[in-house]
Structure 1
């Protein structure tokens, strides 16, 4: 996703809200943003947006590079390219010019993703590049160096002559120097600390609350099960305040008791820099179906023994297992979370309920997946995208399976039931009810996300299906095409 004018404007206005006295000095930038030209293109003259990075180590020194063209010591930076954000542009330039890995840098709690400074400086004409004299409106972002020992620098030879670490008082840019000195009094000390908070929520009976993240570009760990939580803002007085705000925004009505710090974890942002996370542990014993999830796809309880079946955010499985080993449940989960055979009336045969996705493309072709040859069921055979209902309603199961298996995003209101197959495979097998749902609208491109189950997704003409199709899948397709809502299979020989 390329940089947008609205992003640059919003970043500028947020900066001016903190520094209203600089509005006059940034009049040229504001005029640029009101114009018709692309503000971050180096072809836009007489001025355009650039980005740079103030990288601070634990001795409160700032990395400078010797610029070959100008002969000046500068913070690493340069022109915007195909960058997602201004912050991402500054990070990329710092890494390209110095060889520092993105994962060796993290944000500061004082500035987070906001610029510490926007500087205006004149650039001499460069006839070799066909550029006349112009101005740079330079957005400066602050990063902490994560490793205690400086990583080996690999300087970009074409542009960079050398590198030096300078004290705040020796920073060469006057505007950046003044702001760094002011920020040092507010705790800008070069020592990385958590800027995100998440909640490890359990019910005391061995279950952990996870939510399935959206499969969208630009968010962290899309399409995975993760903990609730998020990033700190400058208004948050503490990381616990960050977490409580995030919980209120993501799941209104979720009241978690006894939030206490539990562990420090580290993730990687969508741009590649390190994100220290403070994990809090808390208790809740409610029903996820009774709260309204504002972000993500679904919210569910899971036990540690089911984690291997899920696509988890990095490190989450080990975190949950560690907590479970340290805090064994005092009792089993409430009976309402288990389906026991003796809950059914005498003589009732419990059925397995499965959901199946009937998905058509613009050419009326149907999506089928080729099951893994070693699959316990129907190996090397084409089948619907499908799954078994856990303790959840069928459409939520369908949405979850579509996300987990193929990265497809489906909204509940875009789903309709088009067929039901009542089948039994053998006289001794548990009967099954197969619910076939059509998704009228969806987003995403089918991807093989569970290769141990499905090795390929392919669109098929329903009149020209392959020979190796699961029998009841073929029957359900025929039923949908004929407009029949019900069929049965296997009962004659039961």
Structure 2
């Protein structure tokens, strides 16, 4: 499994800016897209790419837009060498620039060096309404529970990482004792979906919580657990994704939420372990794709 140390040169985040004519902003020296390594102040990979862009050009964040589908998910991830990853985020100009940018060129898509990046960009829909990059992503309101059993009720959606090392051990984290859920208990790397896709959420959570880099193309849905924690609780749809490849070694980026990351033999899982996490691990090993917990038998 490819790894990189926190802050090492093995991870580069690049910004690909597209103008209204579909051309791409390119630096003349060196001849490449603006890019930088993530630093301690970068909360996401996208932040590193934006920092590189604003430092290397005269563009300000107010000059840029992101399409909604790329707000958290990179356009392209490429392994440029053993343990070396490049994340490329596509941004759009929010308006025409009053003057040319120095030491840059606007090139047609066909002149990009990467064949796979050209293909991804060519397939990107450029006619959607852009979202300003400095705007926060709105959250969805949580409706009240349906008053009657069987009524319509929105489920909370959680995403979880099922990752194995070369010895078949499963990655779990020990939650902080003060955590709102399952304090001092082992659990998957996990998070709640905000206004984003499930895969985008997991890619974001993996980096924010443990410094892990995951190409969305390397994730596959492995198991779903439909959970009801009690008669008055909102139901939860827990999606567990298997990562075919990871970039990085897990480390504590949020020590107020997680005390340790550790690889566990699935035949000797820790105790206490979140019950539905154990159910998912057992289901994956048995080749099942769906389980239920907390629901009364039909």
TM-score (normalised: structure 1): 0.37
After superposition, the Cα gap between the structure-2 partners of 1:246 and 1:223, relative to the gap in structure 1 and judged at 3 Å, is same
After superposition, the Cα gap between the structure-2 partners of 1:432 and 1:340, relative to the gap in structure 1 and judged at 3 Å, is closer
Could you give the per-residue CA deviations for residues 161-180 of structure 1, whole angstroms, max 9, x where no partner exists?
Answer: xxxxxxxxxxxxxxxxxxxx
Q: Which residue in the other structure is 1:325 paired with?
A: none
Q: Kindly indicate whether residue 241 of structure 2 is the aligned counterpart of residue 437 of structure 1.
A: yes
Q: Which residue in the other structure is 2:136 paired with?
A: 302
1:406 to 204, 210, 221: 210
2:289 to 461, 481, 485: 485
Deviation of the 1:251 alpha carbon: 5.7
Deviation of the 1:376 alpha carbon: 1.4
After superposition, the Cα gap between the structure-2 partners of 1:369 and 1:347, relative to the gap in structure 1 and judged at 3 Å, is same
Task: Tell me if the contact between 1:232 and 1:242 (Cα under 8 Å) persists in the aligned partners.
Answer: no
Deviation of the 1:457 alpha carbon: 0.4
Distance 1:378 1:300 in 2: 34
- Within a 5 Å distance, the mapping from 1:55-66 to structure 2 comes to none
Deviation of the 1:411 alpha carbon: 0.4
Runs of 5+ unmatched residues, structure 2: 1-8, 10-28, 67-74, 76-87, 99-127
- Greater Rg by CA: 1
Distance 1:368 1:455 in 2: 11
Could you give the per-residue CA deviations for residues 89-140 of structure 1, whole angstroms, max 9, x where no partner exists?
Answer: xxxxxxxxxxxxxxxxxxxxxxxx99xxxxxxxxxxxxxxxxxxxxxxxxxx
Q: Kindly indicate whether residue 174 of structure 2 is the aligned counterpart of residue 376 of structure 1.
A: no
Deviation of the 1:256 alpha carbon: 1.9
- Within a 5 Å distance, the mapping from 1:185-264 to structure 2 comes to 218-221=37-40, 224-225=43-44, 226=47, 228-229=50-51, 230=53, 239-240=58-59, 254-257=92-95
Task: Tell me if the contact between 2:54 and 2:60 (Cα under 8 Å) persists in the aligned partners.
Answer: no
SS state at 2:247 partner: coil
After superposition, the Cα gap between the structure-2 partners of 1:253 and 1:399, relative to the gap in structure 1 and judged at 3 Å, is closer
CA RMSD of aligned residues (A): 4.0
Distance 1:351 1:241 in 2: 39
Deviation of the 1:246 alpha carbon: 11
Task: Tell me if the contact between 2:158 and 2:237 (Cα under 8 Å) persists in the aligned partners.
Answer: yes
Distance 1:350 1:423 in 2: 13
Q: Tell me the matched-pair count.
A: 211
Could you give the per-residue CA deviations for residues 11-61 of structure 1, whole angstroms, max 9, x where no partner exists?
Answer: xxxxxxxxxxxxxxxxxxxxxxxxxxxxxxxxxxxxxxxxxxxxxxxxxxx
Runs of 5+ unmatched residues, structure 1: 1-83, 85-112, 115-213, 261-284, 292-298, 304-332
Q: Which structure has greater helix proportion?
A: 1
Task: Tell me if the contact between 2:158 and 2:239 (Cα under 8 Å) persists in the aligned partners.
Answer: yes
